[in-house]
Amino acid sequence: MTHPAHTPASQHQRLPPDAATGRALRARTEPMTVRPLRDRRYVVETDGGTYVVDVERRTCTCPDHAIRGVRCKHLRRVAIEITEGCVPAPHERPAVCAVCGRETFVPLDAAGPQLCDRHAFIPGDVVTDRETGSTLVVVATTGRRADAVETREGRLVADYETNRRYGRHEPVVDAVYLDDRPPRRRYRFPASRLRPIPGAPRLPMADLPGEDSAGTGTDTALARSESVA
């Protein structure tokens, strides 16, 4: 996601009809560098000067906007780069995926280990346990590390033998076994131990009322046995 300095936003793609003239065209084709600031604004560096853009207030410090009051090319360029995922939106910040190490954007107030779109889970996602081949449904992502979350028996998720191949720093994911009969029990896993099933429909959470207490996230038979205590 690193954005090279002074490059056009779209070098190799065909421009949409509404971006073929005027400020819209310049926003897409002129060399600019966009950098997010900590106060949710953006610095836009161009050959003609450096300006500060506030996309939430729709303002820019350039003369075109300040004098004419128009939506200048700098405002447009920041909007383009946010849409194309080159820079975070005002309510986001950069982070690193705990599974693959790729840069991703997360909410400003997000705490703990983070996951990119490729490795993130949404409640209702159907997944496979890489260790056992069992099918589960994701209930929640805790946002806490596997070496900081305990199971019902007081052991850290990361310390179970079947979890030692996965990152201790990864966020813990709560899931229920699809073949369990209600009331289903939750089990805890390091994020990368669960593999999404391509094309599987997301299940309504109302159909998966798993108990609040989490199990161990070890192999199927042992985990279900130990979590009952």
pLDDT for residue 3 is more than 50: no
Contact criterion met (CB below 8 Å) for 152 and 215: yes
pLDDT in tens, 8-18: 554 444 545 55
Q: Is the pLDDT of residue 79 over 80?
A: yes
Q: What is the pLDDT of residues 138-178, one digit of tens each?
A: 999 999 999 999 988 899 999 999 999 999 999 999 999 98
The predicted-structure confidence for 27-48, as pLDDT tens digits, reads as follows: 999 999 999 999 999 999 999 8
Which tokens belong to 57?
């207030």
CA torsion, ordered 115, 190, 122, 107, to nearest 10 deg: -30
C-alpha–C-alpha distance, residues 28 and 73, integer Å: 8
Which pLDDT value is given to residue 181? 78
Q: Residue 215 above 50 pLDDT?
A: no
Among 106, 107, 114, 223, smallest CA distance to 176 is for: 223
In this structure, what DSSP letter does residue 95 have?
E
141 bridge partner residues:
173
Per-residue pLDDT at 226: 33
223 has pLDDT over 50: no
